[in-house]
Amino acid sequence: MKKRAIGIALTILGLTTLVSTVSALDNGYAPVKQTPDMITVYIHGIENQDGRETLQADPIQWFEGKAADEEFLKDEPDSGLDGAPDGYYIVNDDQKLETLEIDPHAAVYMQIYDRTGSLVNVTTEWNQSVSLEKFKAIYRNNAIVDVSEYPYHLTLKDGKVVRIVQQFVP
């Protein structure tokens, strides 16, 4: 019985992800505009250190569209593919973590996360603003959607993270 329940849950998750991806791509996805003060990372932890919020970031290179195809073909010339699968490509040559301080008033924008505690309600909503406190709770709640698996675009000002944008990944 447990195996069947797990199978059903995985099937629902797969369908939800597929529907979310199709819905997201049909409803005006726009790439995050890269700026000189922005880095793209995987977040490996958020913690309070001496009264300051910090995050452990693994910087990556994020490519979309034509740039993704070019990088993919350069790195994987024998793949048999004409370009990057799903229109994006991530390069993570160095997995060294950096600790970055988060400004207490940082703006946070999410695309997809567990909003209700129910798998059926997991949908993509573009650039939904959440407080830093809510983001920390979302990050720690990985029962339905593990948001640590998504890249984030961080904007830095005076050495602090002032903006966090979750990158949608189809």
Residues 158, 111, 168, CA angle at the centre, nearest 5°?
90
In whole angstroms, give the CA distance from residue 88 to residue 72.
9
pLDDT, tens digit, 9 for 90 and up, residues 140-154: 999 999 999 999 999
Residue percentage of the chain with pLDDT more than 70:
84
pLDDT in tens, 79-126: 999 999 999 999 999 989 999 999 999 999 999 999 999 998 899 999
pLDDT at 27: 64
Boundaries of every domain in the chain = 2-166
Measured from the Cβ of residue 23, the count of other Cβ atoms closer than 10 Å reads: 12
Alpha-carbon span 135 to 137, nearest angstrom: 5
